[in-house]
Amino acid sequence: MQQTVAAVKPAGAISRSTATHWHFSGLALAMSITAYWGFSYTYFRPALAGVYPEAALAVHIHGWSFFLWFLLLPIQTFLIAVGRRRMHMTLGGLSMVLAVVTVFTGILVASVRISDGMAAVEPNEFTTFWKDFGQLIMYSMLLFAGFYGTAIAQRRNPEFHKRMMILASASVLPAAIFRIIVGMSDYYWLATPVWVMPAAFLLPAVFIVLGMLHDRITLGYVQRAYLIGLPVLLVVNVMGILLAGTGAGEIVSEIMASFAKVFGGLY
């Protein structure tokens, strides 16, 4: 009689797969908590308390689309962890809408404030901050758009897709981490020590390094998405930090401010 061999995964492989799903859920939740913690100081708590200063509609749209995107992030990873792939794919459409809104309004707000900083006749701390460092916020938005767009394009490659989502999420955390550092200290956010800005833009890499360590431990190697994405993230952020406040950085800021000249009416 012919013997039929069932294709059964080794128990160890199933265990590793389960651990990987929950690893990504944990990373996603940690990054969402970081985002909410940081922006609770300057946006969410004041907005909910009704004491947030009067601001353009674009600022509020950006803030709440950002909130919803980071709310959806851990939900999406949890759905994969429990095997609800169809629901994950359905919510993916909402994720794309939120990502587009977040990026567009983020670039719009940053470009308007950079433009105001460049045009200030009597510069103050606020306008100087945006003229020098606003380009870093723009870089975060562009990195997010690049990583997220790649993740969507590679959604049929789950291993690459989910790591690109980690990269996308980490790329927009510097502003939150900056606020956490300032919020937990006595620093005035427009006059912080020189180490605060580099720390805020480099610390998000910790989440990616944790992902790389998990790959190394569970797979024996690090997935290509991290090997490509981490250097890109670091190079762009280090370049932005080095250019801030320089003549070359001012040229970059002028280019970025041109977005406001085209779309400023939507601010």
How many structural domains is the chain composed of?
1
Whether 7 maps to a domain, the answer reads no
pLDDT for 5: 36
pLDDT of residue 16: 61
**Residue 129 and residue 117 in contact, taking contact as beta carbons nearer than 8 Å:** yes
The amino acid present at 127, given as its one-letter code, is T
Structure tokens at 150: 């790649």
Question: How far is residue 27 CA from its own chain's centroid?
Answer: 13
pLDDT digits (tens, 9 = 90+) for 70-110: 999 999 999 988 889 999 999 999 999 999 999 999 999 99
Tell the burial category of 220 from Cβ atoms under 10 Å away from its Cβ (0-12, 13-18, 19+).
exposed
Count Cα atoms within 13 angstroms, Cβ side, for 93. 4
This prediction's pTM: 0.89
pLDDT tens digit string along 113-127? Answer: 999 999 988 888 888
The dihedral through the CA atoms of 30, 31, 34, 35 has a sign that is negative
Tokens 């370049």 sit on residue = 239
The answer to whether 214 touches 23, Cβ cutoff 8 Å, is yes
| Within-domain flag for 235 | yes
Asked if residue 108 belongs to a domain, the reply is yes
Domain hosting 79: range is 16-45+55-266
Flag whether 10 is in a domain.
no
pLDDT per residue as tens digits for the range 4-39: 333 344 444 445 666 777 899 999 999 999 999 999
Band of the pLDDT at 40, cuts 50, 70, 90? very high
Say if 158 falls within a structural domain. Answer: yes
CA–CA separation, 74 vs 114, rounded Å?
32
> Average pLDDT over the chain, rounded to whole?
89
Predicted pLDDT of residue 177 = 96
Residue 187, pLDDT above cutoff 80: no
Q: What is the pLDDT of residues 240-250, one digit of tens each?
A: 999 998 999 99
* Residue 11 belongs to a domain: no
In angstroms, the Cα distances linking 14 to 7, 10, 19, 20, 160 are 13, 7, 9, 10, 19
Let me know if residue 9 belongs to a domain: no
5 domain residue, yes or no? no
pLDDT of residue 190: 67
Angle at 188 between CA 183 and CA 189, to 5 degrees: 70
